[in-house]
Amino acid sequence: MAEFAASQTACRLGASRPSLRPWAPRDLTQDEADMIGLATEHDITSIPKIELHVHFGGNFSEAIALELARRHGLDPAVAIPLEEGRYPTRYRDFPDFLRALDALDDLVRTPGDVETVAAAFARGQAAQGVIYSEVIVTALSHVRAGIAPHNLWAALRSGFATAPETRIGIVVDAVRDDGPGDLEEVFRLIEAADAPIVGVGLTGIEDTWPIADFAFIRREADRLGLGVEVHAGEMGPPESVAASIDVLGADRIGHGVAAINDGPLLARLVRDRVPLDVCPTSNVQIGLFPSLEAHPIARFWQAGVNMTISSDDPHLMGTSLTQELRHAVRLAGLSAADLGELQRRAARVAFLSGPDRRALEARVDAWADQIEARQAR
């Protein structure tokens, strides 16, 4: 893991800029996609995928939520945030979404529950052709709910192992609303953990505590050989993104969409190849943008932002990584080559050693070679 931290600057500088293509702000037929050079449905479904921003807590279906509720003798009508048997299609605001997330988190009460959710997640990623994921786990909340740390890690390992064809790394997050003391406790959990932990994250509502109070995250992450991912510029202002880089030493920014409103910051992100984990549907579902067409994904791509695409809380948001890539192709006008570059960027900024990142990139390159051979016929 020490090699990860040492190679980030080189990875950023090595990423190529995207090509510019016309917007296609509606669903296209296969013939239309071929005609204007967009990635096809086959390209989207077949590409080896890498997802770097997906939460464990928002990652189980309505069916699993019902199973967990019944397992604990709970009334599903009270325990699960359902509307006509489904999760809400939109949330009033971010706190409204957090209430739904907390309700689901409360269903996960035992190591067996953790394993159930982890197994479903792994199988779902494998079914999409995701070869590597970094899943954000709020481990402290599970421990405080009564799950012993060694049982938590064992359940996660066992669940993830049900789909060995997909690799999963864990980013353990601290919720900033609860203060720097929780981040200190997270590091103590990580030190004693027997799990594939690759990073540490800071999530929650921005600006609830002075950001300088969390400045030790970089020092402690370096000591343990971990990457640092910070949610910033989601509900907070552009200054939150800059401070996450300057004060916290973030390797990646979760969301970062507020940067679209700050020209100098956007130019800095492009110049320094700062990775943004962009989750379009999530941003729309909590009301940051009125529609996918209003989301800045296309402007980020055209500006040359070093972005990756993720689903954030896919089941609660009614999406998936595959669906988010469909949106990216449609909104930013991506070709198959662009789609491959998007996944290479994710490989380059994953919290893995250099050889492991290059192995992921090689999988994407092999796919790209097949696509080029098909197009040449």
Residues with a known catalytic role = 234
Q: Kindly state the tokens that stand for 122.
A: 């792994």
Distance CA 160, CA 120 (A): 8
In angstroms, the CA 320 to CA 59 distance is: 10
Q: Are strands 197-203 and 167-175 parallel, antiparallel or unpaired?
A: parallel
Sheet with strand 167-175: strands edge to edge: 49-55, 130-137, 167-175, 197-203, 227-232, 252-255, 276-278, 307-309
Neighbour tally for 358: CB within 10 Å: 13
For the residues of 355-368, what is the DSSP string, one character each?
A: HHHHHHHHHHHHHH
Q: Is the dihedral of CA 147, 153, 158, 161 positive or negative?
A: positive
CB contact at 8 A, 279 and 310: yes
